[in-house]
Structure 1
């Protein structure tokens, strides 16, 4: 076992990484793709100038280093319900380079098979043309597009993958993301951690100073042809604990069938609940659920039967639960509105949207946290925000005080195996020096 301890001044935060060096096993035919199909959902973007002369090539006297510095690199991760075209467009990439990527990559990969969590990186030259494109479906499957003059070549990498267990633990000083990065990990691990407790903690409002966390997870390493290992990224979170305001939340990952798992509390109850804490990442709550509010436009007192989340225009808005779209369109003061019917007689409202998610239609089934549209200011609105409402059997209820049911409990036949599994992982989360072995985990 190799141990790393990271301490921060003033005793405000202490973190540690324990890495278990254990033997690990390594974790194509190209898919024919239709570039137009992957490109079709692209949101409005600035069109390239028709007939504009090509950008002049750099003179031979310009050093190669200066050319490299002139490149613009953009990277990101696909969100649920998001296409590559939408993701690139949201980062400011114009239509022409997006179409180039989809067209040139089509012999190697069909972007219609993209998945949430896929990662991308595009390098654009000073003339705005694609120089290099990197697409990672997982640490074990990567695609690369490289320009050589006017010709592109594609590469498909499937390196050997090693999985090793590690643990980090620390205290939040400014944000969860910052605390995780101080311990030497990527923001992706913080995002995955936040998703586990999204039903209990609204991390978009910011973690509290002094909150404590502990994460047991896999670290994925790639092995090159020479046998050298390099850290690729964090993998599956195996167990997690978060303490906030005196409340301790814990979760362990458990597979009920090979390849199919979910997070459960140590007592075997599911972490997942019917509704998420919030439908959008927001900066503040501008209006709460109340029976009497002075309307900012109409200047009359009347009930405000929802929650207004202030957020920048274009911020993704997602469904708080699984359900079916029953309305999509413009409706009076709501402006652009989506309504989703859920189990147990609930209906959720998402109002004032600037635009709807591409392809969203009435009758479509949506999953929890699937993007429905973007924050806007349509209808009776004084600025960009999401008005979120929820009804139960037709009556408006306060989403902030809702205590909805959880997911499916563990089958009785699996409870004994889960108890042993949970006990081992929770012991590994203990902040004291670890003495467990890989075999025990």
Structure 2
């Protein structure tokens, strides 16, 4: 602006002898209008908050849940001189601190560690039933603290999930408790990739998050043993939701449709949400992708010993039958039940070390041995869901290294879990068939398009071991 005015002044002096009185007034008017116009078009602050700033709702969808008055004694910070000059608080001078919750943490612990008095917050949490969320902090989640220019706590935010947060805000001599609900914008994205080294590495390179990769394993884990069956040149295509908040991605949503080409075989899964909002996955013909048993009890492990009638035992130094499959994995790796059932026995099993036997029905039972420890609270008679963690990989009993020994029994007879043919998991409900057929047609057409390139690459490299 100063340069424009200066230029106009120079211009005016150079040609003053040619400007009559009216022209001088017109020039002055032009300068005034130019300054007004430039002021109007100067860009305002960007609506996008800084990377580390707390992102509020716009407008905030909040529900006031309660308040508590702040006494003058508790409103001051211990150690602050009484005669310290109070500085007027402005939003740009306030300070946000983000704290990751540790195991066993309470709100008082977090506040005390960060130099804040916790007394009044503690009284509010104990006296207001709506504040019970603050009594059960979950490790790994975050608390955000906003301090004023004088260091006093102005706001405490507990984000219980990507779309939900609880606020304790200082306002007019008391703290108000509100719950904030965010409505995300949902977008649909797709990712394709080819297996070169491992699903995790190649999935990440293609743009899949770890959580999305695990979802993909859960969907296709009924047909593909990701520890045994993967080959270089296998390919995957995923159509999924992404959740956005004010233009920024905050989380992944559900997988809507997916394809996995494994050793030349193509598997597809289409998501369907029922009337209760529960999402299940089906093949395009309406058959459930779920099976009675998972293919493997340990995700992303490797097979160190297979089912055989004669194997040299590394500890006993003799040949004997090996009536199960060994999955080598680091100590502490979670072990999951391959099907729902009840714990038949749990404890020490001689050469098996720490062992769990699960009875799934009158026909099937499974054995999990050499565990380092059991899941807390698990006992004889406990019911476990399919895929639920029941213990952790170890090397107890007659084991030369950390691994899981897994047995599969049919009517008391040991069978090879890698080759046993399991029945399917049923079909989609009759009342949903027409709607699902429409969805399956739409998503299958999109998978045909986005997966074409990866399928061509897969056909060239199919069968190559990793």
SS in 1 for 2:435: helix
Q: How big is the shift at 1:211?
A: 1.5
Highest Rg: 1 or 2? 2
Map 1:328-367 to 2 at 5 A: 328-343=346-361, 345-367=363-385
Q: How big is the shift at 1:176?
A: 2.7
User: Unaligned stretches of 5+ in structure 2?
Assistant: 1-60, 66-96, 111-120, 145-155, 170-175, 453-466
Rounded to whole Å, the distance in 1 between the matches of 2:203 and 2:158 is 25
Q: What is the RMSD of the two structures over their aligned residues, measured on CA atoms? A: 3.8
SS in 1 for 2:223: coil
Distance 1:273 1:392, change over 3 A: same
Residue among 153, 157, 160 paired with 2:183 = 160
Which residue of structure 2 lines up, in the alignment, with residue 51 of structure 1?
Answer: none
Deviates more, 1:163-172 or 1:244-253: 163-172
- TM-score using structure 2 length: 0.62
Which residue of structure 1 lines up, in the alignment, with residue 279 of structure 2?
Answer: 261
Query: Paired residues, what number?
Result: 330
Map 1:215-294 to 2 at 5 A: 215-222=238-245, 228-294=246-312
Is the contact between residue 190 and residue 240 of structure 2 (CA under 8 Å) also seen in structure 1? Answer: yes
Which residue of structure 2 lines up, in the alignment, with residue 46 of structure 1?
Answer: none
SS in 2 for 1:426: helix
Rounded to whole Å, the distance in 2 between the matches of 1:389 and 1:321 is 13
Which residue of structure 1 lines up, in the alignment, with residue 442 of structure 2?
Answer: 424
Rounded to whole Å, the distance in 2 between the matches of 1:262 and 1:234 is 17
SS in 2 for 1:401: coil
Rounded to whole Å, the distance in 1 between the matches of 2:422 and 2:319 is 30
Rounded to whole Å, the distance in 2 between the matches of 1:98 and 1:291 is 58
Which residue of structure 1 lines up, in the alignment, with residue 418 of structure 2?
Answer: 400
- TM-score using structure 1 length: 0.65
Which residue of structure 2 lines up, in the alignment, with residue 109 of structure 1?
Answer: 133
Distance 1:136 1:410, change over 3 A: same
Is the contact between residue 236 and residue 451 of structure 2 (CA under 8 Å) also seen in structure 1? Answer: no
Q: How big is the shift at 1:192?
A: 1.4
Which residue of structure 2 lines up, in the alignment, with residue 172 of structure 1?
Answer: 195
Q: How big is the shift at 1:373?
A: 0.7
Distance 1:365 1:133, change over 3 A: farther
Rounded to whole Å, the distance in 2 between the matches of 1:232 and 1:260 is 22
Rounded to whole Å, the distance in 1 between the matches of 2:437 and 2:233 is 30
Distance 1:401 1:97, change over 3 A: farther
Is the contact between residue 291 and residue 425 of structure 2 (CA under 8 Å) also seen in structure 1? Answer: yes
Residue among 335, 343, 368 paired with 1:325 = 343
Q: How big is the shift at 1:279?
A: 0.4
Give the structure with the higher percent helix: 2
Distance 1:302 1:283, change over 3 A: same
Q: How big is the shift at 1:187?
A: 2.2
SS in 2 for 1:299: coil
User: Unaligned stretches of 5+ in structure 1?
Assistant: 1-25, 31-70, 75-87, 124-131, 147-152, 223-227, 435-441
Which residue of structure 2 lines up, in the alignment, with residue 199 of structure 1?
Answer: 222
